Amino acid sequence: MDERHGPLVSCETLFENIEDPAWVVFDCRHQLTEPDWGAKQYSKAHIPGAFRAHVDRDLSGPVGDGRRGRHPLPLAFARFLAVHGVGPDTQVVAYDDAGGAWAARVWWLARHHGHPHVAVLDGGLERWKRLGLPLSSGHERPRRQGAFQGRPGAMPTVDTAGVEAAVEDGSLRLVDARAAERFRGESEPVDPVAGHIPGAVSLPFSGNLGNDGRFLSPDELRVRYEAAGVAVEGSAVYCGSGVTAAQTVLAMEVAGLGTPALYPGSWSEWCRPADGRPVARVGEDGVRRLVA
């Protein structure tokens, strides 16, 4: 394969290569409130040749007692790639219908396992449909077993102890990629406690996209993060459970800012009531206050 693509690839480019056996595509559509919704949608219509990647089962490890959050990093992701035909030179493409919120998990995990040839489909399935490109139904079977043997550890991460230290000494600029109302503590639809990690800045991942559902230009993204005082050196990104935060990591790479650390456990690990970690909320007067 002569040309590599990442962290983004256009619908037009994917269509040009859709029958190339050196390209492997994953459909990552998901809904937190209905875990099997994505599989149903995939069966009805998906990009030809795309395989199903389930956020809970394929892209996350067992939750266990919840100490590592709602979506722990998977233990068998290398095998998942291999059984779907991914080898060291394969171009991997992931897509969803949510601005890369789920697809970026594949991008981040593949990079974390040392695979550089991976991209998120810019504009996702919605743009693919708008362009009138073909769709398939049913399920796809891998054409061959891949030779992927990567190991995790190639992407920067920070654990809870590191975040706790940052809260104390400000050594990390924490970026909260969740919706602003969750950051403020006005609502929390999934986790047991509302609010945010003290000292974090709110930059919802949806703000990385333009009105057409594609990522903003590198210059626009750079302005967004620099205006919030976020630089890659000394920054870490979190969300609800470490999944959608990967879309922000990707956006910062697109902006030319490098690769920030990801907090895999994210808010779902931080806010466990039994652990008693500090929580901040924003009051009606706009002032941040510690509430726990």
Give catalytic residue positions. 239
Amino acid 130 reads R
Contacts of 27 by beta carbon, 8 Å cutoff, 6+ apart:
38, 42, 46, 47, 50, 51, 52, 53, 95, 96, 125
92-245-181-193 Cα dihedral, nearest 10 degrees? 120
The strand pair at 280-282 and 288-290 is best described as: antiparallel
Report d(CA 173, CA 96) in Å as an integer.
29
- What tokens appear for 286 in the block? 């706009």
